[in-house]
Structure formats: C-alpha cells, structure tokens
Amino acid sequence: MSDFPGEGGALPDIAMEMPGGDAVKPSDFKGGKLVIFFYPKDNTPGCTTENIDFSALKPEFDKAGVALLGVSKDPPSKHEKFIAKHNLTAPLASDAEENGLSDALGIWTEKKNYGRTYMGMVRTTYLVDTDGKIAKVWNKVRVKGHAQDVLEAAQAL
C-alpha cells in the first residue's frame, strides 16, 4: 500500500509553471472536471501521439465540461516549441520542481532501460471530479486509444 493518493483521494495542490510564466495548480480547476495527463518527454513518439490525440479530442472534452492539462518535467520554453510544432490545443504545464506534483503522486520514479537506471515519468492520467477528488487513474498508459478512453470516462462522470 502506498502513501500516494488514488481514486477517491485528492490531488496534492502543488503549483506548476505554464508557458508564459503563469502558475497552475489542481485547485484552480475545482468546481469543474479535470483530466491531467503526465507524460515523459516532449517530442518523443509516444508523447507526441498522446498530446496530438488529446488535442484532437479537446472540443469533445470542452463540450463535456472537462479541462485538459498535460504535464511533464520539460521546461516551459520546450513546451512552447512542442505546442507550436504540433499545433497542440491541450495546455501543458512544467512540473520541473523537485518535490513537484509528479513526485507527490509517486509517478516520477526510478526506471530501467537497456540496463541503464534513471529517473523518469510514468505515463499516468488522472480524471478529477468537480469536488477535486480523483475519480479514475490510468497507470502505465498505452497511448493508442487512450485519449478516447479517457474522454468516455469523463463524459460518464
């Protein structure tokens, strides 16, 4: 059993930086529904596909009254280039601070790849209800079809 919040819990209210310098935190969305998706790195194949898929469905999320927020450890300046390069419409935040939101959720963790150990983001999505409680968590997300699955869950909430 972990100390990290899961379904029924609340997201820790930790601020992240948006491109342009504004801060954003989970409580900013209270009273509305929020999908916050954490991904490893801008401009990598899976992350690019995931962001394009969420951006493509943004009008449907908007219609369902659900805000979107993509999060990685990349700096805001890199997010700006990523957004421009792929015409992304889902807003992106930087969780670059140590002890940031991804740390508090336990999804910034040690990973192993080809015998190399490093810190990395576990691709995870949270659906948060109007009371700020986590309604659903998708862990170790497979990108194909994921944004559509999240949309259907958000519409049903």
Q: Where are the domains of the chain?
A: 16-156
Instruction: Assess whether pLDDT exceeds 50 at residue 1.
Output: no
Q: What is the pLDDT of residue 2?
A: 55
The pLDDT tens digits for 80-129 are 999 999 999 999 999 988 889 999 999 999 988 899 999 999 999 999 99
Nearest CA to 157 among 7, 1, 4, 5?
Answer: 7
SS3 content of the chain, % helix, strand, coil (to 5): 30, 30, 40
Mean predicted confidence (pLDDT) in 50-65: 97
Query: Is 45 annotated in the active site?
Result: no
Task: Check if the beta carbon of residue 134 is closer than 8 Å to that of residue 29.
Answer: no
- Fold topology of 16-156: Glutaredoxin (3.40.30)
Which of 11, 24, 34, 47 is catalytic? The answer is 47
- Percent of the chain at pLDDT > 70 equals 99
Q: What is the pLDDT of residues 14-33, one digit of tens each?
A: 999 999 999 999 999 989 99
Q: Which residue has the tokens 């009273």?
A: 31
Cα–Cα distance, 19 to 78 (Å, whole number)? 9
